[in-house]
Structure 1
Amino acid sequence: MLLTITTNPSIDVVYQTKSFELGVTNREISHYQVIGGKGINAGRVAAILSGEKEVVAATGFVGADNSTGITQDLREHGVIDKMIQVPGKTRFCYTIIDGEGQKTELNEVGQAISIQEANQLLKQISSLSNLSGVSINGSLAPNLPEDFYSQVIRVVRENNPQAKVVLDTSGVALKSVLKGEYLPDYIKPNNEELGELLGTNVIEEDNAVLSALTNPIFKNIPNVLVSMGAQGGIAKIGVKNPRYYKITISAQPAINTEGSGDATVGGILSALARGESSVDIIRSGMGAGMANAVEAKTGFVQRSNFDRFLKNDQDIKIQTVKAMPASAL
């Protein structure tokens, strides 16, 4: 079984406009609403790519007042609903995309989670067996302690030691885990989140990203994938003698890149379930991210596009590269 965990999901409303200006009335061309949350998106993609070969479940917290849409979306895409209902509403997140593709976001604060509710989630995770992959996704819900994701990893390790853990978060939540005792098997920061983690600006150049991955903070993380949008990505694989890879992806007519990072996690999870090699797991993640970008819907892929990208070496090129510590550059 694959499991995704989302403590702070959302209902996403996306508006398309010709232009967008502050302080004036702006009018939409169109809008749509989708069930969001990084883990929900990742679970949806993992279910599409796994088909009937693997059971995918989603847990976390959802506001009871508007939980119906989330429950329906999970079921429609073959994801088992294990979300824990809490009082109140699931937050809304709003995105405005203008005619030039620039995005403006306004995200509501999620529901505060009590200690009892947090313990209920940990207990639920501990009760699940035969997990092959677990992803921990997105921001911490309000009121959860900074080390909550470390607690989640501990529970997974104690009850499903065979499971691989993928962590897709940023900021304080990511820093707390990396400084803790219980570490994930995979992390997937983008280059902006990488810069934030290391206390610098967005890291854009390949050599700078490679240098950043030699930082001791990543030493004991077996797999680090830094996603870089249309540039592809940089990966570190291994602990004692790490190998570094440059991933180049072909240009595609992107329709909506929102959720591509979440789709990447879904692709990683599905490859973990298939028992693929570390390099092929990275390839699967990148292919899923690309397949999401050519869809209008956020956090959604078509299996045919995913298969096409994976089969063509010109669409996803992975080559070994060297990484030099910053002091050596």
Structure 2
Amino acid sequence: MILSITPNPSVDISYRLASFRLNTVNRCSHVHKSAGGKGLNVTRVIHLAGRKVCATGFIGGANGQFIKEELDRLQIRHQFVEVDGNTRNCIAILHDEGMQTEILEEGPRLTKRDEENFLSQYCKLLDSASVVTASGSLPKGLDATFYTKLITIAKEKGKIFILDTSGNPLKEGIKASPFLIKPNLQELSGLAGKKLQTMDEVKKAVLSLARWNIPCIVVSLGKDGALGYFGGKFYQIIPPKIQAVNPVGSGDSMVAGMAIALSEGLPDQLVLVYGCAFGTLNAIEEKTGFIRRELLNEFIGKTEVIPI
């Protein structure tokens, strides 16, 4: 089983408008609500691929209830820690020739007791998991070392840990040596302390991170695929040519693919292939964090991994 952690989930609400006008009423007939947050995108994609997954994190209030009901409807196992306050909304307004305006709530503030309750539950869930994914921002009340604690506990139990976050939680998390991290170019630049403009600069930044004993580092490069560092070797990961429809959630889908490959003990290069193929599959769909299982083998076969 794969355990997917979303510390700061949301109800994702999208409004599709022909045009978005300020300081007046905008009426919308195209509204979509879903259980959201990066980790729940990972969860959904793993489930769509037909693998066992359990979602966990912190939820509360009516929005938290909506998320549980949505996962129940999809027949996805979940075991969240209930907290006071209401899980946040994340609103996306799609308008005017592909533009997107987002309004992201902060969500509830957690207490030390909330963290303790989660850590207790987390230790139990780890017993039946082989791979752990942890994705996204941290809610108020958790300090930047929260992921560091989760990684340390997982490693003590011999579990593979994939960390996909940014900012201070990423800077702190790498100190615990997770098995895999997946920064994009902007996040890697943040860790390096400067804007990375050439592939040599990117590789140098990756090698600097690898000194923290991180076996696998994958730098996502959008439509250009990814740069992989695995087992002390660099790889160029080349996706199949597609007409992208909605690339949002492709990074989360990449994490899902790599988690599946690692849970099944596949070779290093196939781990990278699975990640890129899953991310590409998401990009051809309108829905966020969504793949079609029947296309998996085709896209896996069309994804190239070249040692460099």
Q: Does TM, normalized by the shorter one, top 0.5? A: yes
Equivalence for 2:289: 299
Q: 1:115 aligns with which of 90, 112, 116?
A: 112
Aligned residues: 307
- The 2-side partners of 1:11 and 1:87 are apart by 16
Equivalence for 1:64: 61
**Superposed displacement of residue 26, structure 1:** 5.3
CA RMSD of superposed structures (Å): 2.0
Specify whether residues 22 and 228 from structure 1 end up closer, same or farther in structure 2 by C-alpha distance, changes over 3 A only. farther
Equivalence for 2:246: 256
Range 72-81 or range 264-273, more displaced: 72-81
- The 2-side partners of 1:218 and 1:204 are apart by 22
**Superposed displacement of residue 279, structure 1:** 1.3
Indicate if the aligned counterparts of 2:46 and 2:52 stay in contact, CA closer than 8 A: no
Specify whether residues 25 and 320 from structure 1 end up closer, same or farther in structure 2 by C-alpha distance, changes over 3 A only. farther
Equivalence for 2:150: 152
Q: 1:140 aligns with which of 134, 138, 151?
A: 138
Q: How does 1:235-246 map to 2 (within 5 A)?
A: 235-238=228-231, 242-246=232-236
**Residue-by-residue CA offset, 1:35-85 (whole Å, 9 max, x unaligned):** 101111101111221x2xx43101110113322321122233342110111
Secondary structure of the equivalent of 2:150? helix
Paired-residue identity, %? 35
Q: TM-score of the superposition, structure 2-length normalised?
A: 0.93
Q: TM-score of the superposition, structure 1-length normalised?
A: 0.87
What 5-or-longer segments of structure 2 have no aligned partner? Answer: none
**Residue-by-residue CA offset, 1:81-136 (whole Å, 9 max, x unaligned):** 10111112110111223343233222100211110110111111111213210011
Equivalence for 2:223: 230
Query: Is 1:16 aligned to residue 48 of structure 2?
Result: no
Structure 1: which amino acid aligns with 2:110?
I
Structure 1: which amino acid aligns with 2:307?
T
- The 1-side partners of 2:209 and 2:86 are apart by 41
Indicate if the aligned counterparts of 1:42 and 1:266 stay in contact, CA closer than 8 A: yes
Equivalence for 2:188: 194
Query: Is 1:271 aligned to residue 261 of structure 2?
Result: yes
Specify whether residues 19 and 198 from structure 1 end up closer, same or farther in structure 2 by C-alpha distance, changes over 3 A only. farther
- The 2-side partners of 1:58 and 1:266 are apart by 12
Structure 2: which amino acid aligns with 1:318?
V
- The 1-side partners of 2:46 and 2:114 are apart by 26
Structure 2: which amino acid aligns with 1:231?
D
What 5-or-longer segments of structure 1 have no aligned partner? Answer: 322-329
Regions of 4+ moved over 6 Å: none
Range 139-148 or range 99-108, more displaced: 99-108
- The 2-side partners of 1:273 and 1:66 are apart by 31
